[in-house]
Chains A and B, each alone.
Chain A
Amino acid sequence: GDSVTQMEGPVTLSEEAFLTINCTYTATGYPSLFWYVQYPGEGLQLLLKATKADDKGSNKGFEATYRKETTSFHLEKGSVQVSDSAVYFCALRTNTGFQKLVFGTGTRLLVSP
């Protein structure tokens, strides 16, 4: 079945460091890919998306590129802030069948001043 694999956390960084959170997927067909962010005690917010191969999603300094050849959608940010501390979920939605949203296990990011 369809699945998403994310790197284990927590990822601990100092402010202004470069961030990469790895995400790979397994899916039939050509899924749409998403990154959601969840701040403590809150719901999920859509951070960025990509709907086809080579698309780059970007928002608030975060970027991710849909790589079909490596089935990856890694999240990057050039300079993290303390306020970026949150849990990040990679997710896919397939274009076939019930088109359910499938989440990875989440990666906690902790940014210290």
Chain B
Amino acid sequence: DTEVTQTPKHLVMGMTNKKSLKCEQHMGHRAMYWYKQKAKKPPELMFVYSYEKLSINESVPSRFSPECPNSSLLNLHLHALQPEDSALYLCASSQGRAVEAFFGQGTRLTVV
């Protein structure tokens, strides 16, 4: 099983809303990632968790707040987003940081 599950698939939120994106994997991977992908662009790394600790924050604005409650779950809490934050948000996991990453289907976020 090489599945990474993301919920919801689609999300529309207002600029004053608070919402969360969820990601789950049961492959025993100890590294988990959030990426942001704009249309016709490659994914951009946002955060990396290694063994449930935040190890990389790519200077992401504080309106994005990641959380790793346990080794299988990764959340991305969203608050006071801007329309330019509309994008496909991808979660990924890997056995370690030195091997291939497996991606979820993504959450298509629209900020209105």
> What residues of chain A have their CB less than 8 Å away from a CB belonging to chain B?
32, 34, 36, 41-46, 49, 89, 93, 95, 98-101, 103-106
Contacts and interface: CB of A to CB of B under 8 A. Distances in A.
Contacts of B88: 43
Interface residues of B, number: 25
A50 to B, nearest CB: 11
B105 interface: yes
Contacts, number: 53
A46 B102 contact: yes
Interface stretch (B41-49, B59-67, B79-87): B41-49
Interface string B95-112: 001111111111010000
Contacts of B4: 43
A49 B56 contact: no
Given A46-B100, A99-B98, A105 B41 contact: yes
Contact of B100 (A34, A42, A43, A104): A34
